[in-house]
Structure 1
């Protein structure tokens, strides 16, 4: 498809896209928009950074404008997102696309006061973007009802299951009208995600712009073998010697995020941490400082980093490999977005080789491995102690069991 105008979007939406500098639809947009406009349910596999928000938002706005839904202060469209950051990002994007319309979009999520959200709902909203927990709270308090919803969109459904939202999703589905159009977007498709999708969708059109669990071709991926004890100094050296001005660094725990940020600050590198124990205000400030260039490095856990959308983010570093291989795909998808190139670097210690094997099996290709000069592994030193190795295996098994139980039984969400 050569232009957005050829996709038969409403004219106010075309005007907004022109204002935003959007010229040509991405592959997911070109495939999904006509299908959604035709009223079909959609099951879409799309990596982060491929333009999937616009893929569902643009036809949704067009259908809202052209369908002229009955007047109601209750939302006509509901978009579910796994994290506060992603909900906020999606709502902001939709507000931009709807700039030349009177359609109202609102994001509701936990970690902040409910009062402004309930006040906005009282005024009326057309599109509601929500995290499942806060949405159920508002429903239970009778501040919101879903009887007018005609469109349901699940964004990053795989992460919603990872966070243990299955029970909440099942409860929400019971409150939604059966006559609706459902759009289901996910970057990865383990069995739990497929089962959820087909329980919600009605003869969906399947759309995929990349192989399931594939990583974006625009991202250069490199592994550096090194001892755990050398990782912090290696990261500081890379940032300093490469004059990196914007790097997103992933760790596995909230404590590691804070500890690493503190160490990098001692090295003279402006940085901050981002994780679930921080208040929403602190998380928003850290993210704004990162986007605006006030800090060079943002040290984040997997959950907190969901929703980070920086079009030209050049660097992602896996300081520690994730216990769940699917998280690797999501992590590196923060770079190489919207057709831009990016680089993902992973530090791999010997006790992480099993995690690496899981990642390579998931993405169905080996990753190029190098040594970073000056930070090579010490082959004369003994391998990590047996007890440490056992602890790593136990943590890995625990993470896998947790992910499985969350998907199967809907254990309450974590706050990593």
Structure 2
């Protein structure tokens, strides 16, 4: 057993909470998997008992690696174990998660199942393990971990393992640890990194890093290395360009923007390679165990010494040997080296020489420019890589190491093959802030005096510019007393809010009429009175007409602005925007009044109580409405009487036309003659309905649609007697039909 296993296993088997800190590659995975399986086996944990142990990992690759180790050491047991990570089918996991005894997962996917999977229950949990605990408990996973812990029982065993263990009281309180045992193997050790690891750093200007990296690969074609960069876009750009340059060794890339299947394939492929280079972000910095890695190259500076320790831990695993190279910009050297010394990291500097064996300086800038010129996609990736690198430096907390203003942006962009450096807003803002801070740090008398002289010159230039603007303005104001001075200052004051800007617009006419009533124009009148008779002022001032505008009086000299858009409007558009006028009523004396005018309060109370006035008003209006109702009903009856008279007149005319005929009407019925009576009755009802409807319609000139519609019952009976009903059998043959037709025609 390793040191961490020798110290952590007995405590874990006793059910103690553990804070385990050990060097990378020292066997921490077995230190928590063995006690976990043993604990469940002793309790005779079964399929019906639910979830018993939970292992949380910060990255998917590390979770896969832990799960593979669990499968190897637990194959003799009957426990059901599951791997829950992002990038896989969530529905399949939801169906099987309730049957698992052991879960290895990432924080995000675990919280998703806690919120959305109905059958997932953690009430019987016995053991919680956090691998790379310092990474899980940092700000990136803070809310997720808090939500997960709320769903877990407090009576449980908890283990935290990492190469750089946290000792924060707040973090331990969040996880509800009870008297944890701190197991630190390298706490008293001389160095915090493996002994077999040779560590070097090299000061390389930012614009030369890609040259050094490419030539390093060219001189180490039989080695297996991992190259760390700070962002996903940098990884993709360097991988794509280096592949087009054909260094002569397999190249791979791994970052968080890839799909899970691609990440798993890259992980397995690199692990199986004997000579290859993997470009990756810090996603591969923690816990991953790649076989026989010779070099770990950090092309970009790590954010802190802890990240450096995890990065270099990908080589020199257990008792193997390895080498690590850190490339620092000149502005990063002092702060990073001091931080590594405090973290017990032994590192030595290597000078960049032209004739060195390991590093050969040969610029590839022209080739990069050719790639960006020929392929727009490569150019686009280069721009994104430039911006992402500058942003990563800008967002780092340790400003003693990371200073975005000290980086040669133009030279760095040229080394990427770009024709120029993309403009970045946050870099300009940081430069402005640093300039302000630099001005504030001047403490000497000479500097202060120089600063005062510069301020006086700036003020003088502002005053002269303001005077020239006043001379060029349309209205020149000459203040004489304090009031006019204040008015002038208010006039030259810049608007602060959107509302003030809106009211100060010159081409505004929507609120002009109402705004002129709200604004106090006394100050303007005073300024005009004190301004004197200026020719330019008289030339530009539009005087008010003599006619009365009504309402509140608009001060004399007020200019009602008209915008350019209004000047170009057609007559139809102007008519639409003018709106409707106010309707007025004129009395006998010819005076105009509004339709509804409010009465004075005194005259209203003089007439009596409000309730009595209301009652009197309602009674008066009711009488008016009743009288109007009687008139309307009389008019309706008279109209109906006229319609009936016209209808009878038309019926008499129809009868006269019928009498001019033979006087008989032949009706032929086929079959039972009684059926005709039913049809007649139905038509009669229809005629009555249509007659009433016509009477209500009010159309006096309407002609009857059908002969006999306007006959009443007496006329109908009389016409019925005149009809001659001939009963015949239904014709069966063509000859019978012809005979019936001739009979009807009277032939």
Q: TM-score range by the shorter chain?
A: 0.7 to 0.9
Q: Which residue matches 1:336?
A: 316
The Cα shift of 1:296 comes to 0.7
Q: Which residue matches 1:398?
A: 395
Does the aligned pair in 2 maintain the 1:326–1:362 contact within 8 Å?
Answer: no
Change beyond 3 A, Cα 1:288–1:346: same
Q: How does 1:103-142 map to 2 (within 5 A)?
A: 103-122=79-98, 124-141=99-116, 142=118
Aligned match of 2:220 in 242, 265, 274? 242
Cα distance per residue 1:359-411 (max 9 Å; x no partner):
4244235520012432699xxxxxxxxxxxxx999855622289xxxxxxxxx
The Cα shift of 1:233 comes to 2.9
TM-score normalised by the chain length of structure 2: 0.46
In the alignment, does 2:234 pair up with 1:256? yes
The Cα shift of 1:303 comes to 2.6
In the alignment, does 2:157 pair up with 1:181? yes
Does the aligned pair in 2 maintain the 1:45–1:186 contact within 8 Å?
Answer: yes
Cα distance per residue 1:108-133 (max 9 Å; x no partner):
111222133223324x2221011111
The Cα shift of 1:169 comes to 1.4
Change beyond 3 A, Cα 1:228–1:30: same
Report which stretch shifted further, 155-164 or 333-342: 155-164
The Cα shift of 1:60 comes to 1.2
1:392 & 1:286 partners in 2: Cα distance?
24
The Cα shift of 1:353 comes to 1.7
Change beyond 3 A, Cα 1:366–1:294: closer
In the alignment, does 2:243 pair up with 1:267? no
The Cα shift of 1:322 comes to 1.3
Cα distance per residue 1:53-92 (max 9 Å; x no partner):
0011012111211221365362200111111111111111
Report which stretch shifted further, 183-192 or 49-58: 183-192
Q: How does 1:341-380 map to 2 (within 5 A)?
A: 341-354=321-334, 356-357=336-337, 359-365=339-345, 367-374=347-354
Q: Which residue matches 2:43?
A: 67
Counterpart secondary structure, 1:371: coil
1:175 & 1:30 partners in 2: Cα distance?
32
Does the aligned pair in 1 maintain the 2:223–2:274 contact within 8 Å?
Answer: no
Q: Which residue matches 2:484?
A: none
2:193 & 2:390 partners in 1: Cα distance?
26
TM-score normalised by the chain length of structure 1: 0.80
Counterpart secondary structure, 1:220: strand
Counterpart secondary structure, 1:299: strand
Does the aligned pair in 1 maintain the 2:271–2:290 contact within 8 Å?
Answer: yes
Aligned match of 1:299 in 279, 301, 306? 279
2:216 & 2:156 partners in 1: Cα distance?
51
2:20 & 2:274 partners in 1: Cα distance?
36
The Cα shift of 1:330 comes to 0.9
Cα distance per residue 1:125-183 (max 9 Å; x no partner):
22101111110100111242211210011110111134611122122112111211111
Counterpart secondary structure, 1:179: coil
The Cα shift of 1:338 comes to 2.0
The Cα shift of 1:222 comes to 0.9
Change beyond 3 A, Cα 1:134–1:116: same
Change beyond 3 A, Cα 1:154–1:214: same
Higher relative contact order (CA 8 A, sep 6+): 1
2:198 & 2:172 partners in 1: Cα distance?
31
2:289 & 2:6 partners in 1: Cα distance?
21
Counterpart secondary structure, 1:185: strand
Counterpart secondary structure, 2:158: strand
Does the aligned pair in 2 maintain the 1:74–1:121 contact within 8 Å?
Answer: no
**How many residues of Structure 1 are paired with residues of Structure 2 in the alignment?**
364
Q: Structure 1, unaligned stretches of length 5 or more?
A: 1-24, 378-390, 403-416
The Cα shift of 1:204 comes to 1.1
The Cα shift of 1:299 comes to 0.5
Q: How does 1:128-277 map to 2 (within 5 A)?
A: 128-141=103-116, 142-162=118-138, 164-189=140-165, 192=168, 194-200=169-175, 201-211=177-187, 214-265=192-243, 266-268=245-247, 269-277=249-257
Q: Which residue matches 1:85?
A: 61
Does the aligned pair in 1 maintain the 2:221–2:275 contact within 8 Å?
Answer: no
Counterpart secondary structure, 1:224: strand
2:80 & 2:47 partners in 1: Cα distance?
13
CA RMSD across the alignment: 2.7
Counterpart secondary structure, 2:397: helix
In the alignment, does 2:10 pair up with 1:34? yes
The Cα shift of 1:305 comes to 4.1
Does the aligned pair in 1 maintain the 2:132–2:161 contact within 8 Å?
Answer: yes
Q: Structure 2, unaligned stretches of length 5 or more?
A: 362-387, 400-747
Moved over 3 A (4+): 189-192, 304-307, 391-397
1:401 & 1:163 partners in 2: Cα distance?
16
Change beyond 3 A, Cα 1:143–1:351: farther
2:170 & 2:195 partners in 1: Cα distance?
28
Change beyond 3 A, Cα 1:362–1:244: farther
Does the aligned pair in 2 maintain the 1:313–1:335 contact within 8 Å?
Answer: yes
Q: Computing the radius of gyration over CA atoms, which structure comes out larger, 1 or 2?
A: 2
In the alignment, does 2:24 pair up with 1:48? yes
